[in-house]
């Protein structure tokens, strides 16, 4: 009984770390408390793989973020998200004889969009980065909490396993493109403050094959996934309220990542930006004004808050003009902190040629 | 509307307030003792269960391991390999804050949600209380603890304070980073991160247990978990574990309840006495009422109604007094439970309606039972005869053989019950009560015979008035008999208990002398193990020639807990254990080198095993069979279990820890010098108890005595009831005979002579009570020792009857009776004969 809310509060605080590049207010308190002692993303660095697939514990936060659109042999469509976050609570692990003592905390989110059934399923896990309960290692890559994991297999494929009982995913991912460095050679500046930046790379196209289980029913699935990797010691700037993040995979083999940072006055932060990756894996950095996004429709969450629910994405530089539509309006996660992360459809044109595609969109800061 | 006859009945009582008060007092005290014991017992048990509940939360099962707990990797594997998330690790222990023991509960916040559903509020942290700092403190700050507001208050610590604690004797620094409100069930508990708990308890790699929540009827999950468990770990039901812990104290509580019933039994005699008198005194009124046409049934109802009302009023007062008394008793009960069985923190008596109801029913019931006989008797007279005193005495004389035979039958039944009831404690206690009742019924005959025999002797010694005094006892048997019985029963109970405790104590003392072989003992205070380096340093102190080590361990399986005492002994100290049922030379060999254990006498009794049997114990490698090499004598009330050699233990358990040492010194080495050496060595390193052989024996006896403080308290309460009984009997007896005394005064006796006669009579009543109490007391002691203690605790105690206990009891009886007779004597002497004779 009442060993108190303590537990819940503490977990709530930890879990509010759900957000993509910046944690929201409560966690911001935790994370902005003192960046001293941590490494910061100040200038571009040399990335080496596979070492950089592994953890960077000297930075305060880090994540392995995988999303994807899959189809089953019998024609059912699924979207999925499996993310594992790492947070350092202090720069150093306190000295201890106890294996449990740690400064590292891990949180994982699993979400599956069962498009045909119009269901959205979410589960989360927490763990301390100690004793092997949760953790990350580079060679071979393994990031895990309990029995949920992202692991590099012997053949180089990445295997994602997460089972929440009611639903589960077990898929293998084979990269079809090399990692691309976002921002300035992987340094993604989030505001004008030096150090308010992250190291950020993506693998924008991974061939995916495996199984999804929902309510005891197994579905063999295949499709495409997207991996985002980011680590930093930064927090949201005071005047930033949230962001919209797009990860779109087009039918011509090219991919687009773009994030728009929203300011409290409703405008878009000039530090917004993105990356365009051609079918053969050549990456181009995009500035805030290279891409223009217009909201075409909105969705009112039954729990309050209004999210954008359809966009027009245009880029003269890329010759791109597409409409992005969620496959399901309600893909909102109530993992202590609320955010929207969902599978989307893309249709439109590029340089006059018809273009379709699929992708994932993340929306934060629309509901508290 | 109260009928006029009832008013007549009550106005009589009101005109004799002393009698009313005294008869009330008997029930009040009897009920109070019952209620107090019941409340203390149930409060202690309830507090324990509630705090266990609070701590177990929603866990339905627990994974437990050997003496050291569960390897933490077992927990990790359950989560990472089996994917079980409804599991949470716990590291438990005790910390000392300025000598106050506080339970330490080390948890993993991340795992808690699935097992304990905590609600409530943290009421304090930092003033601008952002919870993230709580979170950080909890996980990162070594020594960070949180507790209830009340506990912080009790310990005099505030949020933000750092303070010294002692864990397993080692000094540590704690920091109170938050408190939470409410729930007294979590008082005296520090909640801390599992890492802090491991650090403090010096148990890296081990957790105390894994709490598991399995939905009702989810047998698939249960099975999955059981299959996943590592050898040496077991899955047990949480409720079952709590219950079996609570049940450890059952025998102790049953004995207390029995003692409280004894107090009521004595109280029963009192009320019997009181009602009897009030009926006797109103025989005139009863005769008149009968003559006026009241039926027998109406009269009976009237007397019983009166008794019920008196009983109820007294019972209510008794319940109130009992609640107050319970508070005091609870402290003693919980201290004993803490000494002997398990940690319990009771802050207040919780008055349960059930306890109150029991008290009320006992009070009213006792009053009705006690009133039934006199009431029936009074109403059975012919109206004319009811007026005659002599008729009543004659009738009393007539029923005497029947009463005596019933008593003998009761005693025979008691013996038969003891012989036929095996090991049942309740049956044993029932037999004790039967024995007392049976004996009580024989007392009147004894009084009659002895007073008839003594009367001529008294005449020779003290003249006519002495003869009248003694003969008056026999001739007024219907009145004196009850008083004597009440006093005798109370006294015999106290004799029985005193002899039992005294015998027990001397057995324990003899056992300690034999068992404690080393010259100096040292070890950790309550729990925790000794630092191995410190052990080595102590071993190398000048003058220490040999050393034994001891480790107290507990193993547990679905059948319950078993205490292991693990010894490494120099062969010359083998004689310290008295082996009862085996050849020591053979048994010790087996004990040292094979998978064999010694079982303590209580263990052997409770489990029905002895030399040559085999028992199964859970070990780190799963259940294993051990041979019982011998049974050894043991009065160790803390850990009456098995004795295992270090070699055997090491083969079956991964636990090298030692919690105490026995040091053997070279001839001529100064014991106090070695004690000082150890003190110097351990200072600031690890706090230890350090004691010479004699010191440890004294300390053990001190704890023994402390355990029996409760017995002492009940002893005095029972005597108190007895004293009030005799006082009330004397008062009533003498008041009733006021006219007789007045006649004697009119015939020329001086007030001094009348007073002397009364005093002689009360003194003789006391003497007879005391004499009657002695045989019953000795028989009771025998039954308590050989039947009750054996059945409750398994101890074999040698009975020794110290004559001084008997002498003191008889002296008390005479003293109490004389004291009780003083006021009536004074009154009788002072009364004006003319007025007194007219009074009726």
In the prediction, which pLDDT does B5 show? 60
Chain B residues touching A100 at Cβ < 8 A: 72, 108, 193-195, 198
Determine whether the interchain pair A26/B113 forms a contact, defined as Cβ–Cβ distance below 8 Å. no
User: Residues of A289-306 as b/e, b for ≥16 C-beta within 10 angstroms?
Assistant: ebbebeeeeebebeeebe
Please give the pLDDT value at position A8. Answer: 37
Is the distance from CB of A346 to CB of A336 less than 8 angstroms?
A: no
Q: Choose the weakest-confidence range: A57-66, A125-134, B574-583.
A: B574-583
Q: What is the mean pLDDT of residues A220-244?
A: 88
What integer best gives the mean pLDDT of chain B? Answer: 81
- Give the model confidence (pLDDT) of B1-15 as tens digits: 345 566 666 666 666
Which pLDDT belongs to residue A328?
Answer: 93
Q: List the beta bridge partners of residue B171.
A: B166
* Structural fold of domain A5-363: AttH-like fold (2.40.370)
For residue B388, what pLDDT band results from cuts at 50, 70 and 90? low
Residue B674: pLDDT over 80: yes
By C-alpha distance, the chain A residue nearest B75 is: A133
Q: DSSP letter for A340, please.
A: E
Interaxial angle between packed helices B296-340 and B4-15, expressed in degrees from 0 to 180 and rounded to the nearest 10: 50
Between CA B769 and CA B487 the distance in angstroms is: 6
Q: List the single range of A114-123, B43-52, B695-704 with lowest mean pLDDT.
A: B43-52
Cα nearest neighbour of A9 on chain B: B131
| B484 or A331, which is more confident | A331
Joined together, the tokens standing for residue B17 give 């307030």
At residue B591 the predicted structure's pLDDT band, cuts being 50, 70 and 90, is: very high
CB contact under 8 Å between B136 and A105, yes or no, is no
Arithmetic mean of pLDDT, B769-797: 85
Name which of A73-82, A85-94, A186-195 the model is least confident about. A186-195
Cross-chain Cβ contact A132/B80 below 8 Å? yes
Decide if B180 and A2 are in contact by the 8 Å CB cutoff. Answer: yes
The predicted model scores a pTM of 0.78
Residue A192's pLDDT is 80
Smallest Cα–Cα separation from B779: which of B435, B485, B489, B446? Answer: B435
Give mean pLDDT, residues B285-301.
78
Contacts of A30 in chain B (CB under 8 A): 132-133, 135-136
CA distances B769 to A215, B443, B773, Å, are 82, 9, 6
Tell me which residue has tokens 């003194």.
B763
Q: What is the mean pLDDT of residues B4-30?
A: 69
Burial classification of residue B41, based on how many CB atoms lie within 10 Å of its CB (0-12 exposed, 13-18 middle, 19 or more buried): buried
| Interface contact flag, B183 A101, Cβ < 8 Å | no
Stretch 544-603 of chain B: residues touching chain A, C-beta under 8 Å: none
Q: Does B188 touch chain A (CB under 8 A)?
A: no
Q: Which residue of A has its CA nearest to B55?
A: A1
Chain A environment of B193 (Cβ under 8 Å): 100-101
CB burial of B159-168 (b: ≥16 within 10 Å; e: otherwise) equals beeebebbbb
The arithmetic mean of pLDDT across residues B501-524, rounded, is 87
Indicate whether B121 pLDDT > 70.
no
Q: How many CB atoms lie within 10 A of CB A29?
A: 17
Q: Report the C-alpha gap between A23 and B391 in whole angstroms.
A: 100
Which chain B residue has its CA at the smallest distance from A127's CA? B110
The A-side interface with B (CB below 8 A) comprises 1-14, 26-27, 29-30, 33, 89-90, 94, 96-103, 105, 125-128, 130-133, 144, 146-147, 163
Contacts of B536 (CB under 8 A, 6+ apart): none
Angle between helices A25-32 and A5-15 (to 10 degrees): 90
In angstroms, the CA A171 to CA B105 distance is 40
Which chain A residue's Cα is nearest to B197? A98
Averaged over A145-159, what is the pLDDT? 93
CB contact under 8 A, A4 and B120: yes
What tokens appear for A65 in the block? Answer: 């973020």
Using left for φ > 0, alpha for ψ between -120 and 50, and beta otherwise, residue A263 falls in beta
Hey, are the CB atoms on B72 and A133 less than 8 Å from each other? no
The answer to whether B601 and B794 have CB atoms below 8 angstroms apart is: yes
Peptide bond between residue B766 and the one before it cis (omega within 30 degrees of 0): no
With contact defined as beta carbons under 8 Å apart, do A138 and A108 qualify?
no
Looking at the predicted structure, is the pLDDT value of residue B487 above 70? Answer: yes
Query: Of B3, B6, B4, B1, which is closest to residue B303 (Cα–Cα)?
Result: B6
Q: Where are the domains of chain A?
A: 5-363
Q: What are the chain A neighbours of B81 within 8 Å (beta carbons)?
A: 147
* pLDDT (average), residues B790-806: 83
Output the CA torsion B390→B393→B394→B395 (10° steps): 120
pLDDT at A304: 85
Nearest to B30 by CA among B493, B481, B352: B493
Mean pLDDT over the full length of chain A: 87
The pLDDT-based confidence of B751 (bands split at 50, 70, 90) is: confident
Check residue B391 and give its pLDDT. 64
Answer whether B9's CB lies under 8 Å from B279's CB.
no
pLDDT surpasses 50 at A228: yes
Is B761 a residue whose pLDDT tops 50? yes
Q: Which residue of A has its CA nearest to B87?
A: A146
Mean pLDDT of A258-275: 90
Beta strand pairing call for A292-300 and A306-315? antiparallel
Contact A2 B186 (CB under 8 A): yes
Closest chain A residue to the Cα of B147, Cα to Cα: A3
Residue with tokens 């514990």: A57
- Contact criterion met (CB < 8 Å) for A100 and B131: no
Q: Which residues contact B575 (CB under 8 A, 6 or more apart)?
A: B514, B517
**Beta-carbon-side half-sphere exposure of residue B139 (alpha carbons within 13 Å):** 29
Q: Tell me what the mean pLDDT of segment B241-258 comes to.
A: 73
**Given CB atoms, is B135 within the 8 Å cutoff of chain A?**
yes
Our CA-based measurement puts residue A181 at a distance from the nearest CA of chain B, in whole angstroms, of 33
Instruction: Report pLDDT for A10.
Output: 41
Q: Where are the alpha helices (DSSP H) in B421-562?
A: 425-475, 477-515, 532-539
Domain boundaries, chain B: 1-37+243-387, 67-231, 443-518+704-840, 526-686
* % of chain A with per-residue pLDDT over 70: 89
Longest pairwise C-alpha distance within chain A: 66
Give the number of C-alpha atoms closer than 13 A to the C-alpha of residue A100, restricted to the C-beta side. Answer: 31
- pLDDT above 90 for A280: yes
Q: How far apart are CA B698 and CA B704, in angstroms?
A: 10
pLDDT at B6: 65
Spell out where A254-352 has E strands: 255-263, 273-277, 283-287, 292-300, 306-315, 320-326, 332-335, 337-350
Residue position matching structure tokens 């009456």? B640
Give the pLDDT confidence of B418-459 residue by residue, as tens digits: 888 887 888 888 888 888 889 888 888 888 888 778 777 777
For the residues of B545-608, what is the DSSP string, one character each?
EEEEEEEEEEEEETTEEEEEEEEE--GGGGGGS-BSSS-HHHHHHHHHHSSEEEEEHHHHHHHT
Specify the pLDDT at position B804: 87
Among B73, B108, B191, whose Cβ lies nearest the Cβ of A3? B191
B533 exposure class (CB count in 10 Å sphere: 0-12, 13-18, 19+): exposed
Q: How far is CA B13 from the centre of its chain?
A: 38
**Residues B316-338, mean pLDDT to the nearest whole number:** 82
CB contact at 8 A, B198 and A100: yes
**pLDDT at residue B486 greater than cutoff 80:** no
Q: How far is B617 from chain A (nearest CA, A)?
A: 30
Q: Is B808 helix (H, G, I), strand (E, B) or coil?
A: helix
């Amino acid at each position: 009984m009442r060993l108190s809310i303590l537990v819940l509060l503490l977990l709530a605080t930890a879990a509010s770390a759900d957000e993509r590049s910046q944690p929201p207010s409560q966690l911001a308190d935790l994370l902005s408390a003192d960046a001293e002692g941590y490494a910061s993303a100040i200038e571009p660095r040399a990335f080496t793989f596979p070492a950089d697939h592994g953890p960077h514990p000297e930075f305060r936060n880090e994540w392995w973020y995988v999303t994807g659109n899959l189809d089953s042999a019998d024609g059912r469509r699924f979207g999925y998200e499996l993310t594992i976050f790492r947070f350092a609570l202090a720069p150093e692990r306190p000295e201890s004889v106890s294996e449990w003592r740690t400064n590292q905390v891990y949180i994982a989110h699993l979400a599956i969009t069962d498009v045909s059934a119009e269901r959205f399923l979410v589960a989360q896990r927490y763990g301390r980065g100690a004793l092997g309960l949760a953790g990350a290692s580079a060679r071979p890559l393994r990031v895990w909490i309990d029995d949920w994991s992202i692991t590099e297999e012997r053949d180089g494929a990445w295997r994602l396993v997460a089972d929440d009982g009611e639903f589960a995913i077990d898929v293998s991912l084979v990269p079809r493109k090399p990692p691309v460095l976002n921002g300035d050679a992987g340094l993604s500046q989030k505001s004008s403050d030096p150090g308010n930046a992250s190291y950020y790379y993506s693998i924008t196209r991974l061939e995916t094959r495996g199984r999804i289980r929902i309510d005891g029913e197994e579905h063999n699935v295949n499709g495409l996934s997207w991996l985002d990797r980011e680590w930093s010691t930064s927090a949201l700037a005071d005047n930033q309220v949230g962001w919209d993040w797009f990860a779109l995979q087009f039918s011509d083999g090219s991919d687009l990542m773009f994030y728009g940072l929203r300011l409290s006055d409703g405008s878009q932060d000039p530090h917004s930006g993105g990356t365009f990756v051609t079918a053969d894996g050549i990456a181009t950095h995009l500035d805030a004004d290279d891409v223009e996004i217009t909201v075409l429709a909105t969705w009112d969450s039954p729990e309050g808050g209004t999210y954008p629910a359809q966009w027009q994405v245009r880029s003269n530089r890329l010759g791109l003009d597409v409409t992005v539509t969620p496959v399901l309006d309600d893909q909102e996660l109530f993992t202590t902190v609320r955010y929207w992360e969902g599978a989307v459809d893309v249709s439109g044109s590029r340089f006059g040629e018809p273009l379709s595609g699929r992708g994932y969109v993340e929306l934060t800061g629309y509901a508290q | 509307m109260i009928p006029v006859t009832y008013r007549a009945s009550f106005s009589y009582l009101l005109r004799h307030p002393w009698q009313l008060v005294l008869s009330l007092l008997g029930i009040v005290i009897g009920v109070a003792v019952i209620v107090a014991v019941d409340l203390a017992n149930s409060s202690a048990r309830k507090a324990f269960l509630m705090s266990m509940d609070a701590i177990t939360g929603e866990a339905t099962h627990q994974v437990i391991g050997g003496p050291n707990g569960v390897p933490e990797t077992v927990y990790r594997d359950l989560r990472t390999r089996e994917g079980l998330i409804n599991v949470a690790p716990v590291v438990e222990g005790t910390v000392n804050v300025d000598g106050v023991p506080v339970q330490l509960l080390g948890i993993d916040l991340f795992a808690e949600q699935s097992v304990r559903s905590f609600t409530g509020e943290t009421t304090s942290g930092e003033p601008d209380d952002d919870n993230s700092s709580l979170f950080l403190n909890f996980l990162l700050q070594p020594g960070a603890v949180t507790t209830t507001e009340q506990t912080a208050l009790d310990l005099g610590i505030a949020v933000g304070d750092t303070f010294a604690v002692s864990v397993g004797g080692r000094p540590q620094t704690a920091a109170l980073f938050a408190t939470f409100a409410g729930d007294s069930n979590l008082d005296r508990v520090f909640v801390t991160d599992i890492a802090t708990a491991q650090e403090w308890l010096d148990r890296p790699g081990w957790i105390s247990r894994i709490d598991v929540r399995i939905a009702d009827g989810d047998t698939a999950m249960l099975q999955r978990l059981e299959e996943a468990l590592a050898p040496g770990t077991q899955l047990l039901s949480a409720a079952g574990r709590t219950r079996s812990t609570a049940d450890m104290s059952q025998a102790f509580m049953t004995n207390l309840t029995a003692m409280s019933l004894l107090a009521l039994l004595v109280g029963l005699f009192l009320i019997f006495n009181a009602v009897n008198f009030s009926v006797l005194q109103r025989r005139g009124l009863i005769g008149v009422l009968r003559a006026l046409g009241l039926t027998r049934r109406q009269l009976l109802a009237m007397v019983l109604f009166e008794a019920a009302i008196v009983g109820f009023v007294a019972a209510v007062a008794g319940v109130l007094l009992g609640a107050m008394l319970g508070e005091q008793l609870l402290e003693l009960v919980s201290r004993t439970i803490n000494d002997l069985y398990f940690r319990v923190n009771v802050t207040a008596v919780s008055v349960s309606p059930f306890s109150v109801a029991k008290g009320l029913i006992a009070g009213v019931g006792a009053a009705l039972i006690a009133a039934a006989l006199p009431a029936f008797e009074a109403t059975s007279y012919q109206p004319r005869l009811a007026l005659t005193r002599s008729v009543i005495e004659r009738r009393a004389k007539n029923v005497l053989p029947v009463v005596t035979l019933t008593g003998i039958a009761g005693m025979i039944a008691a013996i038969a019950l003891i012989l036929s009831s095996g090991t049942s404690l309740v049956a044993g206690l029932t037999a004790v009560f039967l024995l007392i009742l049976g004996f009580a019924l024989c007392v009147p005959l004894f009084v009659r015979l002895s007073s008839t025999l003594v009367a001529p002797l008294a005449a020779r010694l003290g003249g006519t008035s002495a003869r009248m005094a003694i003969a008056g006892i026999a001739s007024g048997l219907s009145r004196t008999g009850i008083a004597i019985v009440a006093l005798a029963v109370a006294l015999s109970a106290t004799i029985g208990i005193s002899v039992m405790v005294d015998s027990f104590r001397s057995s324990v003392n003899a056992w300690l002398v034999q068992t404690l072989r080393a010259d100096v003992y040292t070890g950790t205070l309550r729990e925790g193990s000794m630092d191995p380096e410190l052990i080595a340093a102590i071993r190398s102190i000048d003058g220490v020639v040999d050393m034994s080590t001891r480790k107290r361990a507990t193993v547990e399986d679905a059948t319950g807990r078993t205490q292991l005492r693990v010894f490494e002994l120099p062969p010359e100290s083998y004689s310290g254990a008295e082996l009862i049922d085996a050849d020591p030379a053979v048994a010790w060999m087996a004990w040292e080198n094979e998978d064999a254990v010694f079982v303590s006498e209580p263990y052997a009794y409770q489990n029905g095993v002895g030399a040559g049997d085999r028992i199964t114990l859970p070990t780190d490698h799963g259940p294993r069979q051990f041979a019982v090499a011998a049974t050894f004598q043991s009065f160790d009330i803390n850990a009456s279990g098995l004795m295992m050699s270090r070699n055997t233990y090491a083969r079956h358990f991964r636990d090298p820890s030692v919690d105490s040492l026995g040091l053997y010194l070279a001839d001529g080495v100064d014991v106090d010098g070695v004690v000082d050496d150890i003190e110097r060595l351990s200072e600031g390193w690890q706090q230890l108890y350090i004691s010479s052989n004699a010191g440890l024996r004294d300390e053990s006896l001190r704890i023994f005595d402390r355990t029996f403080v409760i017995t002492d308290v009940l002893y005095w309460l029972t005597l108190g009831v007895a004293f009030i009984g005799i006082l009330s009997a004397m008062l009533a007896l003498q008041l009733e005979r006021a006219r007789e005394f007045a006649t004697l005064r009119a015939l020329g006796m001086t007030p001094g002579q009348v007073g002397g006669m009364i005093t002689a009579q009360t003194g003789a009543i006391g003497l007879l009570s005391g004499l009657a109490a002695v045989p019953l007391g000795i028989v009771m002691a025998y039954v308590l020792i050989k039947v009750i203690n054996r059945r409750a605790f398994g101890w074999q105690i040698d009975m020794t009857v110290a004559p001084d206990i008997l002498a003191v009891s008889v002296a008390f009886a005479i003293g109490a009776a004389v004291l009780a007779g003083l006021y009536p004597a004074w009154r009788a002497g002072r009364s004006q004969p003319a007025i007194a004779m007219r009074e009726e």
